[in-house]
Structure 1
Amino acid sequence: MSSIVRKAGLGFAAAALALTGAAYGVARSASADVTAQLTASQLVADMGAGWNLGNQLEANSNGIPSETAWGNPVVTQALINQVKASGFKTIRIPVSYLGNIGAAPGYTVNSAWLTRIAEVVNYAYSQGLYVLINMHGDGYKSITGSWLVCDAADQTTIKAKYAAVWQQIATKFASYNDHLIFESMNEEFDGQYGTPTSACYSNINAYNQIFVDTVRKTGSTNASRWLLVPGWNTNIEYTAGNYGFVLPTDTNRSSTIPSAEQRIMISVHYYDPWDFAGQEDGTITQWGAAATNAAKKSTWGQEDYMDTMLKKMYDTFVTRGYPVFVGEYGSIDKTTYDSANNTYRANYAKALVATAKKYGAATAYWDNGYNGQHGFGLFNRSTNAVTQQSLITAIITAAGGSTSTTSPTTAPTTTPTTAPTTSPTTAPTTAPTAGTGACKVTNAVNAWNNGLTNSITITNTGTTAINGWSLVFTLATGQTITAGWSATYAPTSGTVTATNASYNGSLAAGASASIGYQATHTGNAAAPTGFKLNGATCS
């Protein structure tokens, strides 16, 4: 889906704030995870229903990736917990790199950006979910700073840069188990929607081959993990048909993979018919056999067409051992034009997921974080509340899972998007106990102009568990917290107390928790000082 469509319906100017710095902290070690390698059919079944964290890590402001640039709040653990509690088993996290890539010859990716990507990945990975990350907006001609352009003149430079960036990404995540899947790129094409051109398609094929070779050569789990590659614009016809798509070879994969099995998946998207799924004029609001008004139903793209297209992927790839991933699908909210629209949106989603499952494909619904007219949202990202339960139920049941209409017990139903101005009125459910040892705190500050973000990793270095905690620290003069995640913060300047959320209050001996905040400053972007956890001074 193009960046223009991703932002459609937001209806307000994007804030030009770059959230690029955060520390990586999870309760378990990725390198300690060991899972059996799954066959293609086992993988698809295990991935279940998927969901896209859209308009977040691929959002950008003037070519610099910025998590909040397209109107969504900072991603939190609480949001991901709600997505999991709703029945989703897979989360696709689109990622752009753009201006966070340094100059030749190293093309070094901004370390704070890689760290924030890892932190968001860990929100899902630590919960046992499948996670997919890609290179998303770097090939959109409409975006400032795009460079992965298949019809650009200097392909030698593009390919060297592409290999260098994927080498860094793969190295960053080399120890993660097979629940992490890499996707080479997103909707790569030359910007015109006609028949693919051979020269451009040849470069897309080359990018996919570079991606597979580069990731495999970094070793560790990367030698055997599943890799996802698209054809022209992730279009089914142009990928499965005779238009030039070439499967990459996988000669550098681990010898532990049985010779008869693959470790490559094929990526496609599905938004047909567009006049129902994405067109914003409000004319076509119904879909499928249950439609009651022919004038509001598209003349094409119904159940039979959907079946034909997904069967084409099955015949071309699944039968050869290459599973298919419908990484984006969905339809926008048109209830302002037709109060029954959500019924047809649910029918559409249910049919897509069920048909994909029938033909050996996994799926991920496109959620851009926007609720209301023309939005794709299933959740309110500021409160973590479910906004489209009927669609979620349709998706989860079609995938063979079960849904929950209650909030997860491990996450709060709301997460403040701005720091509270007063102390919490209720104490933690378990009285804080400081343990018998000490604590360690690390900061990761990323500053710009008059703003900054800071991610704080708290480690219990004592010998007993901490059940409920308060972390006290002092902000530099002139700094004021404007938003925070994974804790509550009060007051917003001076000496601040961060109090645990309901889902991260327990810290076993040696365990860590990651929290953070966004703040303004008047020229002093220094990290806070004087950390004390439950009264104990931290190193």
Structure 2
Amino acid sequence: MARRAGLAAVAAALALTAAVYGVTRPASADVTAQLTAPQLVADMGAGWNLGNQLEASNNGIPSETAWGNPVITQALINRVKASGFKTIRIPVSYLAKIGAGPDYTVDAAWLNRIKEVVDYAYGQGLYVVLNMHGDGYKSVAGSWLICDAADQTTVKAKYQKVWQQVATKFASYNEHLILESMNEEFDGQYGNPTQPCYANINAYNQAFVDTVRRTGGTNASRWLLVPGWNTNIDYTVGNYGFVLPTDQYRSSSIPTAEQRIMISVHYYDPWDFTGQEDGVITQWGPNATNPAKTSTWGQADYLDGQLKKVHDTFVARGYPVLVGEYGSIDKTAADSTNNRYRADYARALVSAAKKYGAATAYWDNGYNGAYGFGLFNRSSATVTQQGIIDAIISAAGTSTPSSPSSPSTSPSASPSTSPSTPGPVGACRVTSAVSAWNTGLTNSITITNSGTSAVNGWSLTFTLAAGQSITSGWSATYSPANGNVTATNVSYNGTLAAGASTTIGYQAGHTGNAAAPTGFRLNGATCN
């Protein structure tokens, strides 16, 4: 997806910052522990797009601030990780940063900045999906990756040379870097694909795979991501012309029965809810209360069916799938309940994807306010849509962050939903998994109702070790930040059936004592 929601408003809403932090660890040539397709999808967890940044441009010149977002910082990436995301997709445009043929040399400073931003996430142990984005949009000045352009010989030569340079730049990075051939490539006409254009898209994908593999290093075995026509599910799984690229140059170390090709699709159905900027359709899903504000199609059963198609066509054959973009715009100006349905939509999409063996990455364009997709304030590196994040992380079953190196000190916003009234509990069990670094830690707490009756609303109390103070949390509200803390459920995890569990977590600073909390009590009952 390109720029969504009022660029002038974006510029007005987001202040510029030039704070850039150092990389926490260098790129590594570690190629151990190559994952199978199911393992990869599980390990990628919940994903997030750094949208409208490195693919932004002005008159054909890429610039990360061209569409109103601030300079990307390490603090922002740390906040995304601390919120529970394990994968970051980084869209990139090259455009006028590409020199003349036949070498098509990419500007060295631009490649270095791309590497720097990749390292913000890669250096934190996150998965990074790096793609070629705006070069294929006819609406973008200077675009050239156009599947119905007359001179396809030049297009293909340029495409091959650019990917050769990019892949070489990252040849030593381990399997946490995934390269994606292109974004939403089509001829600018919605509707059935044209066959000459689809043939060129297939040719681009094949050139991408061959070129990346031939650069060697980890590129010979890393996972590579390719889309069909406009990343549209129907036009990719159906009989419209999509051809999987062959992988003849891959490393001989890859077991014969395993793939190293992933399929990219996007999901924004129904568009009148997710992206149409009129404020009319503001509700979605089984919890919708007003039929006049709910789309007549594209509900949960349709969503499930679309993800099942992807599974049956690709996942079942060993090709993992990434729903590389999904999400819905903010229409709270028209309907104050809209965020509830945006969270329901995200939860349903991620749940269905997990069910059918696909990973996901939420589309965030950095814009908060009317018609924005933003989950974070990129200037202050703080959370703006905790309820949607909670829905995503919960549905993905993502474990909490493992070892952020430079956490932001700004606490996350509290969930926007009201907690349930705590009910009685007979017995409970709690497990706590602390991961610490110099002056900080994260803690993942799993609460199990080991009694025989359901819990309808809960509060978990515990005592932090001396010198610890919570800076952000997820899937619960936390108060106070230190000492004897009470974590109270949010809307979606307040009911725990007998035997059921939920996982919450927090990030905290410490002054040398990273011990786990003690004295867990759920609604007053002591937990084992």
TM-score interval, normalised by the smaller of the two chains: 0.7 to 0.9
Instruction: Say whether the 8 Å CA contact 2:26–2:123 is kept in structure 1.
Output: no
Candidates 304, 310, 315, aligned match of 1:318: 315
Instruction: String of CA shifts for 1:18-62, please: whole Å, max 9, x gaps.
Output: x9x999963433235343100000000000000000000000011
Instruction: Name the residue aligned to 2:188.
Output: 191
Check if 1:214 corresponds to 2:211.
yes
Residues 161-200 of structure 1: matches in 2 within 5 Å? 161-200=158-197
Instruction: String of CA shifts for 1:51-107, please: whole Å, max 9, x gaps.
Output: 000000000011000010000000000000000000000000000000000000100
Instruction: Name the residue aligned to 1:38.
Output: 35
Alignment partners' CA distance in 1, 2:20 and 2:173:
17
Higher relative contact order (CA 8 A, sep 6+): 1
Change (3 A) 1:111 1:24: farther
| 1:138 aligned counterpart, secondary structure | helix
Check if 1:88 corresponds to 2:85.
yes
Instruction: Name the residue aligned to 1:364.
Output: 361
Alignment partners' CA distance in 2, 1:22 and 1:215:
33
Residue identity in the other structure for 2:165: Q
| 1:11 aligned counterpart, secondary structure | helix
Alignment partners' CA distance in 1, 2:124 and 2:406:
13
Alignment partners' CA distance in 1, 2:178 and 2:168:
13
Instruction: Name the residue aligned to 2:442.
Output: none
Alignment partners' CA distance in 2, 1:267 and 1:231:
7
Instruction: Name the residue aligned to 2:238.
Output: 241
Alignment partners' CA distance in 2, 1:203 and 1:255:
28
Instruction: String of CA shifts for 1:146-170, please: whole Å, max 9, x gaps.
Output: 0000000000000000000000000
Instruction: Name the residue aligned to 1:111.
Output: 108
Check if 1:49 corresponds to 2:46.
yes
Residues 378-389 of structure 1: matches in 2 within 5 Å? 378-389=375-386
Candidates 294, 305, 322, aligned match of 1:308: 305
Instruction: Name the residue aligned to 1:98.
Output: 95
Alignment partners' CA distance in 2, 1:408 and 1:118:
18
Candidates 136, 142, 150, aligned match of 1:139: 136
Instruction: Tell me the CA shift for residue 403 of structure 1.
Output: 6.0
Alignment partners' CA distance in 2, 1:216 and 1:145:
28
Residues 369-518 of structure 1: matches in 2 within 5 Å? 369-402=366-399, 410-413=407-410
Instruction: Tell me the CA shift for residue 303 of structure 1.
Output: 0.5
Residue identity in the other structure for 2:305: T
Instruction: Say whether the 8 Å CA contact 1:275–1:298 is kept in structure 2.
Output: yes
Instruction: Name the residue aligned to 2:117.
Output: 120
For structure 1, list consecutive stretches of 5 or more residues without a partner in the other structure. Answer: 415-428, 431-502, 504-539
For structure 2, list consecutive stretches of 5 or more residues without a partner in the other structure. Answer: 412-437, 440-508, 510-528
Instruction: Name the residue aligned to 2:286.
Output: 289
Instruction: Tell me the CA shift for residue 402 of structure 1.
Output: 4.9
RMSD in angstroms over aligned alpha carbons?
Answer: 2.3
Instruction: Tell me the CA shift for residue 194 of structure 1.
Output: 1.2
Residue identity in the other structure for 2:163: W
Alignment partners' CA distance in 2, 1:395 and 1:111:
37
Instruction: Name the residue aligned to 1:275.
Output: 272
| 1:7 aligned counterpart, secondary structure | coil
Residue identity in the other structure for 1:113: W
Residue identity in the other structure for 1:150: C
Q: Percent same amino acid among aligned pairs?
A: 78
Check if 1:298 corresponds to 2:295.
yes
Residue identity in the other structure for 1:399: A
Report how many residues are paired: 409
Instruction: Say whether the 8 Å CA contact 2:24–2:405 is kept in structure 1.
Output: no
Instruction: String of CA shifts for 1:508-531, please: whole Å, max 9, x gaps.
Output: xxxxxxxxxxxxxxxxxxxxxxxx
Instruction: Name the residue aligned to 1:426.
Output: none
| 2:359 aligned counterpart, secondary structure | strand
Alignment partners' CA distance in 2, 1:333 and 1:13:
13
Change (3 A) 1:387 1:27: closer
Alignment partners' CA distance in 2, 1:161 and 1:32:
28
Instruction: Name the residue aligned to 1:528.
Output: none
Instruction: Name the residue aligned to 1:70.
Output: 67
